[in-house]
Amino acid sequence: MAVAKPPYHADVVGSFLRPDSIKQARKAHFEDRSISAEELAAIEDQAIIDVIRMQEDAGLKAVTDGEFRRAWWHFDFMGMLNGLDVIQREGGGIQFHGVHTRQDVPVISDKLSFPADHPMLEHYKFVAANTKVTPKISIPGPSAIHFRIADDDIAVSEYKHDAEAYFEAITATYKDAVKAFYDAGCRYLQMDDIFFAYLCDPKIRAERKANGEDPDWLIGRYAKMMHDAIVDRPDDMLIGMHMCRGNFKSTWVAEGAYDPAADAIFNQTDVDIYFMEYDTDRAGGLEPLRLLPKGTKRVLPGFITTKTPELENIDDLKRKFDEAGKYADLDQLGIAPQCGFASTEEGNDLTLDDQRRKLDLLVKTAEAIWGEV
């Protein structure tokens, strides 16, 4: 039976809790050096087939590999680009509320470009070959390179001293990535561009201003990068974009309503589907949804959290959509978790059973509100 094409009213951000088989195999390969890359890949393959089946069995129409071959949602993809490396440095990593990540630091060592043999092209193809529904892959959006790499870690003088040259190089790299994924068969590509939401945080905005950057200008420039990277895609390729305020071991980084970025997000990026964190008051109100243009674009408010195991009440979720419907056409809405369940391989503080219950609720809510997934 043919599967309806996206967008869907129920969808997922992309990452899932790593099963023990993956945790043990990655430790054996990367730390203990006791199994080969081929042995690790075989274990990953089986775990990915299992997580695809889990998503299909829950009733989802778009599935991912759970990001099981990655340590990070963004650094793995970035480190596989030409000219960008991820190194370990004392004092590196990212500070979340009450916890700090490992000391990985992305640096630019040479001119940026997208390699024809980027490993995640094969990651996508594996999902496509092993699902009966729509295969999807999530990669970091172009702003991740600019936001995450400090000026002192840029070795290319042209990028360091010419902001436009730097932005254009990132854009060109992503244009090639979009084309490469399309040529690999991908018709639903998700870009996680969380830094739009970060730049809505008053503290982060103040930090950027202190560094001589106008956060509102950055929002506009990030929107242009996204727009220019995807604008030439064929008509049968949909682009999703996820925005959140940080997700590591159930903690977070940023807070603040979407208002400073809403117009840029909805009207300047050319994105088709928006995954927007909305599980706590840190995300602000639903009023920014009024800027969603009428038509085929879709917003999936993340009313279901991946940070805690407590299961949301479906009646409460329906009421939230009643409220969201005051600002955007209900047919242009859907539901997704607020983020992935494991933006890094450490994962959030839930069990595999908790995760499955969240997916079941996701599908049940979509069917109750829209009559379909």
Which CATH number is 246's domain given? 3.20.20.210
For the four alpha carbons of 174, 176, 182 and 184, in that order, the dihedral sign comes to negative
Distance CA 87, CA 75 (A): 10
pLDDT at 162: 95
CB atoms near residue 120 (< 10 Å):
21
**In what order do the strands lie in the sheet containing 273-277?**
137-140, 188-192, 238-243, 273-277, 298-302
pLDDT score for 270: 96
- Residue 93 has a pLDDT of 57
Q: Output the pLDDT for position 41.
A: 97
Question: What's the CA gap between 104 and 101, in Å, rounded?
Answer: 8
Any domain includes 297 = yes
Segments forming the whole domain that contains residue 190: 20-370
pLDDT of residue 2: 74
Distance CA(111)–CA(91), nearest Å, equals 26
Q: Is residue 27 part of a domain?
A: yes
Locus of tokens 């809790």: 17
Indicate whether 13 belongs to any domain. Answer: no
Q: Look at residue 343 and tell me if it is in a domain.
A: yes
SS3 content of the chain, % helix, strand, coil (to 5): 45, 15, 40
Alpha-carbon span 80 to 91, nearest angstrom: 23
Domains of the chain: total? 1
Regions of the chain with pLDDT less than 70: 1, 91-102, 247-250, 252
92 located within any domain: yes
Q: Which residues of 54-76 are buried (b: 16+ CB within 10 A; e: fewer)?
A: bbeebbbbbbbbbbbbbbbbbbb
Q: What are the φ/ψ torsions at residue 66 (nearest 5 degrees)?
A: 70, 0
What's the pLDDT at 252? 59
> Which residue is listed with tokens 């940070």?
307
Q: How many angstroms separate the CA atoms of 104 and 71, rounded?
A: 11
**What is d(CA 15, CA 111) in angstroms, rounded to the nearest whole number?**
30
